[in-house]
Copies of this chain bind each other. A is one copy, B any other.
Amino acid sequence: MTESRQIDQGKPPRTMSREQRRTQLIEATISTLAARGYSRTTLTEVARTAGLSHGLVLFHFETKEKLLGETLAYLAEEYRQNWQGALANAGPDPAEQLNAMIEADFAPAICAPARLAAWCSFWGEAQSRPLYQEACGDKDDAYNATLEGICARLSNEGGYDRNPVHAARIIRVTTEGTWLDMMTMVTPYSPAEAMTTVRTAAALCFPNHFTPEGLK
């Protein structure tokens, strides 16, 4: 499910491998969710977005429920890989790691309008379907644990006496609230502006290491 995200756009062959087609249909589902919202996302519309017949969607995913579940899993996995990759590329310094995680959360691939809108669609249905808590609960757990660990090390090494659990929570809810803002605000809201907001929160928690513009 995670390999070969890229789809060959040269001249689409009539048939594709199972994995390629599934990925293409999941991407079409994300686009449709963003364009029409969860409630008006139909199999026919997903198929039309992909330029395929609606029967094929069910051939590959069996039911609409499973298509949406796999779409959510795809988004969750993409999100996880994004921040874990950014963290792996950052140095051992906790301030750099925290900065890397903040930047990762607003990377174009993650907080592109269509991606955010798709996430938001799922949030709206979350409370009524265990599906989402399954897919997202684990992801959030790993993210939180990592963030708290980084904040704890930054607190210790940086000489702050801040509660790392509180700091991590502030950073996380600030990020989530900013995503929601980007979705619901009428006036456009750039990723750069969003990141400034989260960095401001980081600067409040760790003023010796962060400014609203980034690392000190």
Contacts and interface: CB of A to CB of B under 8 A. Distances in A.
A201 B197 CA distance: 13
Interface in A164-193: 166, 169-170, 172-178, 180-181, 183-186
Main secondary structure of the interface of A (DSSP, over half): helix
A37 B128 contact: yes
Contacts of A147: none
Copies of the chain in the assembly:
2
Interface residues of A, number: 46
A66 interface: no
Contacts of A186: 133, 137
B185 A181 contact: no
B177 A173 contact: yes
A36 interface: yes
A186 B137 CA distance: 6
A155 B172 CA distance: 25
Nearest to A127: B117
Going nearest first, the 6 A-B pairs with the smallest beta carbon separation are A124-B124, A173-B177, A177-B177, A176-B177, A204-B204, A39-B39
